[in-house]
A and B are shown apart, each in its own frame.
Chain A
Amino acid sequence: ELKVEQNPLFLSMQEGKNYTIYCNYSTTSDRLYWYRQDPGKSLESLFVLLSNGAVKQEGRLMASLDTKARLSTLHITAAVHDLSATYFCAVVQYSGGGADGLTFGKGTHLIIQP
């Protein structure tokens, strides 16, 4: 059974600082997604990572994927308050029929303080 673990689960940081969220997964997969969720809202897609060594960047967020280590990172550069949210990584689970739904981590609740 595919397990997806994120750490930390909770992170409070100051504006202007850098930090990295880690996502480990337990079985082979070649697709990993990062989502953002604001309180009371639904999930917003941030990045799709499709191959080993993939790196995507959008603004102050950069995501990478190492399929050999089964590890993805989400790096935050010079954090600003608007990035406060819960961040989820999700990995494709495969069955005999092909790709099934995504298995999500528990999320990293990020608070960025002025």
Chain B
Amino acid sequence: DTGVSQNPRHKITKRGQNVTFRCDPISEHNRLYWYRQTLGQGPEFLTYFQNEAQLEKSRLLSDRFSAERPKGSFSTLEIQRTEQGDSAMYLCASSLAGVSPLHFGNGTRLTVT
């Protein structure tokens, strides 16, 4: 399977804990995106990378959120000091630069108790 891979699929954590999610994009794609989706809503853009450069991060939801893509391949999204409002599906997508569509992974569902 050469699609976008996300791990873990599910994460349950207690409020205040830190969590990290991983995304492995389609190998030839140079752009990688993170989105958050809550029930009944469309995906909400968080940040994106072109190769290893993070080109937009102003829409990360707070300073508790950070993302890295250290070698221009896989990426991680970290949420520090989780809150119940962080419970959502976190989606990763990748694409080639230009007009090609984003290819989404199956997401990581986060539940904060």
A50 lies within 8 A of chain B by Cβ: yes
Chain B's closest residue to A107 (CB) is B42
Complex: how many Å from CA A107 to CA B107? Answer: 18
Determine if B91 and A43 form an interchain contact, defined as CB atoms under 8 angstroms apart: yes
Instruction: For B101, give its contact among A45, A98, A100, A105 (CB under 8 Å).
Output: A45
CB within 8 Å for A97 and B101 given contacts A105-B42, A106-B40, A106-B42: no
Chain A's closest residue to B58 (CB) is A95
CB within 8 Å for A100 and B102 given contacts A88-B42, A107-B41: no
CB distance from A34 to the nearest CB of B (A): 9
Determine if A101 and B33 form an interchain contact, defined as CB atoms under 8 angstroms apart: yes
Tally inter-chain residue pairs, CB-CB below 8 A.
60
B103 lies within 8 A of chain A by Cβ: yes
CB distance from A22 to the nearest CB of B (A): 15
- Can you name 30 A-B residue pairings with CB atoms under 8 Å? A4-B42, A31-B99, A33-B101, A33-B102, A35-B104, A41-B106, A42-B105, A42-B106, A42-B107, A43-B43, A43-B93, A43-B102, A43-B104, A45-B103, A48-B100, A50-B99, A88-B42, A90-B42, A93-B45, A97-B55, A97-B56, A100-B45, A100-B48, A100-B56, A101-B35, A101-B56, A102-B43, A103-B45, A104-B44, A107-B40
